[in-house]
């Protein structure tokens, strides 16, 4: 009998996470949780939405995953869940390619067609989106989102809650700070400090 878990979030991103959990086959989804009161009692993607945080705490399930696309919101909810004694699971699509000696933190989601190469460390609550590629010896901080088709070459470090948008590329041996946004289709050829947005090819600060 599979262990039951919750999914926190009922949005487009949650649909993808739910599909991965079903395909992975390790857990059974018991219910969804969402703080939007309009969703309470509704069915979303074939699962009941029991309500928000209060309803979760009243339930008997203490293991789950946060399915929220926003980095800051995802991390805030994950931190609250941790404070309540909840354990986060990791969702990895069966078609993802994860090499030897890769570490993936709890709460992270690895989507279809993603590639993670050897000796890479993925933090907590990270989204490695569809067909994104992370090469060897990378270090991905907590709460990062690598959007579809993004590419990190070898030995790249990404700080917490940064967002590498669709189709962006980071060349080898660079450090991207925390809370950075790399615009869609950009090519990063130099280090990026904390808290800035870079766009273009080569990427420049806005």
Sign of the torsion angle spanned by Cα atoms 118, 123, 124, 130: negative
- The reported pLDDT for the residue numbered 114 is 99
Active site residues: 136
Say whether 97 sits in a helix, a strand or coil: strand
- The reported pLDDT for the residue numbered 25 is 98
- The reported pLDDT for the residue numbered 116 is 99
Q: How confident is the model at residue 109 (pLDDT cuts 50, 70, 90)?
A: very high
CA 179 to CA 175: how far, in whole Å?
13
Model confidence, pTM: 0.97
- The reported pLDDT for the residue numbered 29 is 99
Quick one: tokens of 54?
Answer: 């209060």
CATH numbers and ranges of domains, the chain: 3-89 (3.40.50.20), 90-195 (2.160.10.10)
- The reported pLDDT for the residue numbered 160 is 99
Quick one: tokens of 19?
Answer: 């599909």
pLDDT digits (tens, 9 = 90+) for 14-32: 999 999 999 999 999 999 9
pLDDT digits (tens, 9 = 90+) for 156-171: 999 999 999 999 999 9
């Amino acid at each position: 009998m599979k262990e039951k878990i919750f999914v926190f979030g009922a949005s487009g991103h949650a649909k993808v996470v739910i599909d991965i959990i079903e395909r992975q086959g390790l857990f059974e989804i018991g219910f969804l949780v969402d703080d939007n009161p309009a969703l309470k009692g509704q069915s979303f993607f074939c699962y009941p939405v029991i309500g928000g945080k209060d309803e979760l705490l009243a339930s008997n399930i203490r293991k789950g995953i946060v399915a929220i696309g926003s980095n800051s919101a995802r991390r805030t909810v994950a931190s609250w869940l941790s404070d309540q004694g909840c354990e986060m699971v990791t969702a990895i699509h069966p078609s993802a390619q994860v090499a030897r000696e890769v570490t993936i933190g709890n709460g992270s989601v690895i989507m279809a067609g993603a590639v993670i190469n050897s000796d890479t460390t993925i933090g907590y609550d990270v989204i490695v989106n569809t067909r994104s590629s992370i090469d060897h010896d990378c270090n991905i901080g907590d709460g990062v989102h690598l959007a579809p088709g993004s590419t990190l070459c070898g030995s790249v470090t990404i700080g917490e809650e940064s967002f590498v948008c669709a189709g962006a590329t980071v060349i080898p041996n660079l450090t991207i700070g925390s809370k950075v946004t790399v615009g869609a289709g950009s090519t990063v050829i130099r280090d990026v400090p904390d808290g800035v947005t870079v766009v273009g090819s080569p990427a420049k600060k806005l």
